[in-house]
Structure 1
Amino acid sequence: MELVTPSIGLVFWTVVAFVCLLILLRKFAWKPIMSAIHDREQSIDEALNKAELAKQEMARLTAQNEDLMKEARAERDRILKEAKELKDGIVGEARKQAQTEGAKLIEKARIEIENQKKAALAEVKGQVSALSLEIAERVLRSQLEDKSKQEALVANLLKDVELN
C-alpha cells in the first residue's frame, strides 16, 4: 500500500526532480524545440507557397499549351484547305487541258480523215477516168477497124454538126 499512498518525502523529491527537469528543459530544450518547430512551420509554408506558384504556373502553361494546340489545329486546317483547293485547281486545269487536247486531236483526226477521203476520191476519179479512156479507146478502135463503120460514124457526126 505504500506505493498507492506515497509519502511526503517521495512527493517532495518527485516535485523537485520535475521542477529541475522543467528548468533544464526550458533552458536547453524548449527554445531549440520551438525554433525547430517554427523553422519547420516556415519551410512548410514556403513549400505550400511554392506548390501554389507551381500550380498556377502549370495552369498557365496548360492554357498556353491549349492555345498553341488550337493555333496548330487551325494552321493544319488552313494548310489542308489550301492543299485541297490547290489539288482541285490542278485537277480542274488538267481536266480542261485534257479536254482541249482531246478536242484538238479529234479535230486533227477529222481533218486527216477528210484529207484521206478527198485523196481516195481523187484516186478513184483518176482510175475511173483512166478506165473510161481505155474503154473509149477500145470501143473506138473496134469501130474504126472496119472501113464501112468509119464512114458511117463520120456521116453521123456530120449530120449532128449540120443540125447544130
Structure 2
Amino acid sequence: MLANAFVLGSSTGFNGGDILFQLVMFIVLLALIKKFAWGPLMGIMQEREQHIASEIESAEKSRVEANKLLDETRAELKASRQEAQSIIENAKKIGDDQKNEIIAAARAEAERLKESAKMEIDQQKEQALAAVREQVASLSVLIASKVIEKELSAADQEKLINEYIKEAGEER
C-alpha cells in the first residue's frame, strides 16, 4: 500500500519544477509572439489607421470642395436665370414696341388709302358729273334742234325727250 500511496502522492503533490518550466516557456512564448507577431500586427494596424485617417481627411476635403462647387453652381444658375428673365423681358418690350410700330404704320397706311380712295371717288364723281353735263348739253342741243325743225305738241315733246334720254342711256 505504501507503494500505492507513493504513486498517488507524487501525482497529487505540488511539483514546482513543472510550474516553473511552464512559466518560463510561457514568457519565452510571449516574447516570441511580441517580437514576431505583435510588432508586425501593430505596424499593420498603425498603417491601417493612418490610411483610414488620410481617407477621412481626403473625403472631408472632397466634401468641402463639392460644397464650394455646389455653391458656385447655384450662384451661376441664379445669375443665368436672372439673365434669361432679363432677356425675356427685353424681348417682350421689343416685341410690344414693334407691334405698336406695325399697328401705327398700318393705321397710317389705312388712313392714306382711305384719303386716296376719297380723292379718287371725288375725281370720278366730278368726271361723271362732267360727262352727264356734256350729255345733257348735247341732248339739250339735239332736242332744241329737233324742236326748231318741227313744232310739236306737248305730248310729242314729252315723247321726243323720252326717246332721246333712252338713246343717251344706250350710248353710255
Sort the TM-score into its range (normalised by shorter chain). Answer: 0.7 to 0.9
Amino acid at match of 1:117: K
Give me the identity figure in percent: 35
Question: Over the residues paired in the alignment, what is the CA RMSD in angstroms?
Answer: 1.8
Gaps of 5+ in 1: 144-164
User: Which 4+ stretches in 1 moved above 6 angstroms?
Assistant: none
SS at match of 2:150: helix
Shift of 1:27: 1.6
1:110 correspondence with 2:122: no
Shift of 1:7: 6.3
Shift of 1:10: 5.3
Residue 24 of structure 2, aligned match among 10, 16, 38: 16
Q: Which residue of 2 aligns with 1:158?
A: none
Q: Could you tell me how far apart the structure 2 residues matched to 1:6 and 1:62 are?
A: 80
RCO comparison, higher one (Cα < 8 Å, 6+): 2
Q: Which residue of 1 aligns with 2:132?
A: 124
Residue 102 of structure 2, aligned match among 94, 97, 100: 94
Shift of 1:141: 1.8
Residue 39 of structure 1, aligned match among 47, 50, 53: 47
Instruction: Say which is worse superposed, 76-85 or 16-25, in terms of deviation.
Output: 16-25
Amino acid at match of 2:57: N
Q: Deviations over 1:50-75 (max 9, x none)?
A: 11100100100000010010011011
- TM-score norm. by structure 1 comes to 0.78
Gaps of 5+ in 2: 1-11, 152-172
